[in-house]
Amino acid sequence: MDDDTDDTEIFMEAVNALGKDIVFRSENNALKALEGLRYSSQLPDLIFLDYNMPMMNGKEFLMQIKSEQLLQDIPVILISSPSEEFAKDLLKRNEIIHYISKPSNYNELITILGGIL
């Protein structure tokens, strides 16, 4: 989930470039994403979450899904630029499974995603 459509398109292209059978869905509004998850017939295997989102930031979104029994076990990878200390705290509390600082180029993104997916 990312509110920047350019970042989302680049991310989707990088996922497709891996050549794996991955279903990718994005949402640029955390409130809509949360509602979609609550009423989805098939939950995602993994959520990539941008911290800097309008209306509900990544931390608020994360707190919401971790408080709901249906959603709390979905692994989350935080992608953003909050402080490393913040990300380490989330990792320590097992609220996220990984933290990625937004890569500076496309090839770096493909390498990172290849290691995760």
39-70, pLDDT tens digit by residue?
999 999 899 888 887 788 888 999 999 999 99
- Domain carrying residue 9: 5-116
CA distance 37 to 33: 6
The SS3 of residue 12 is helix
Per-residue pLDDT tens digits for 64-114:
999 999 999 999 988 876 567 777 788 888 888 888 887 878 898 898 888
Which tokens hold the place of 69?
A: 């029994």
pLDDT at 2 over 70: no
**CATH assignment of the domain containing 32:** 3.40.50.2300
pLDDT for 72 equals 94
Q: How many domains does the chain have?
A: 1
Q: How far is CA 108 from CA 22, 40, 57, 100, 105, in A?
A: 19, 32, 25, 11, 5
